Structure 1
């Protein structure tokens, strides 16, 4: 089975495979990183910027019987800020059934992130959510906290969604 189910988690392919659900202010951009921690990242603007992928699990090679056994689903995401501006980070991940109805959701409170925050990882593992999993919706983003024109908001990269292999 595949490793990371999210496609283009670093922006190497521009915004392919991502739906820009909110593209406010100066809109999303992709920047290379000046250090060796990541190759590139998506950056947000002074108004809300959110992007989403919906993973179709049956197309990824998982069978319905295995998905109905409620395997562990682990979500990881990385965020940071610039040296001169803070921001607000948002993440919503939902497990969906065949009708795209929500089975379980991980949606932490918005995170106020001060300037100069190094890359920080968010991790969550879904367990015990019951049968019916067929899709996973992953949406994240944010904005800056000073309303500065340009790309001063939250940076995101290296997002991943993985499903535990069959025992």
Structure 2
């Protein structure tokens, strides 16, 4: 069961496995990189764009006993901006119990990202959060800072959620 629990982290399968939770007038786009650094990425527009996956850990093969031992959960995400427009990046990751009540949350402050920011990684590891983990909610996105129509906002790709293996 090791490896990334998020499906379609680069947009290779369009928006498959993602719920578009905020996708107004000018929605998300998927774009290809002009080089080999990243194959594809999700791009936000001038309106707030958010997308989410909720991972069912039991369906993913984890047993309740192991999940109740509070294994370390590591989340990673990558963001960047275009050369001509800045963006705002948002991330919220929540550990949820069987009723989908929040056990713990990682929600850094929104990041205002200047134009031409190279790919930047955000990472966090949940530790010591107690028993009850059954689901993980991963939501991210953002928008541009100039309110330009089109896909000038923050870009996201390479998202991952991993759980430490049993010792």
Is it true that 1:95 corresponds to 2:95 in the alignment?
Answer: yes
Is it true that 1:15 corresponds to 2:15 in the alignment?
Answer: yes
CA distance in 2, matches of 1:92, 1:45: 19
Matches within 5 A, 1:4-153: 4-153=4-153
Structure 1 spans left out of the alignment, 5+ residues: none
Which 4+ runs in 1 deviate beyond 3 A? none
Residue 2 of structure 1 and its aligned partner are, at CA, apart by 3.3
Structure 2 spans left out of the alignment, 5+ residues: none
CA distance in 1, matches of 2:140, 2:89: 8
CA distance in 1, matches of 2:25, 2:104: 31
Superimposed CA distance per residue, residues 131-160 of structure 1 (whole angstroms, 9 cap, x where no aligned partner): 000000000000000000000000000000
TM-score (norm 1): 0.99
Residue 85 of structure 1 and its aligned partner are, at CA, apart by 0.1
Residue 72 of structure 1 and its aligned partner are, at CA, apart by 0.2
Residue 36 of structure 1 and its aligned partner are, at CA, apart by 1.5
SS of the residue corresponding to residue 59 of structure 2 reads helix
Give the conservation status (yes or no) of the 8 Å contact 2:2–2:164.
no
TM-score (norm 2): 0.99
Give the conservation status (yes or no) of the 8 Å contact 1:25–1:48.
no
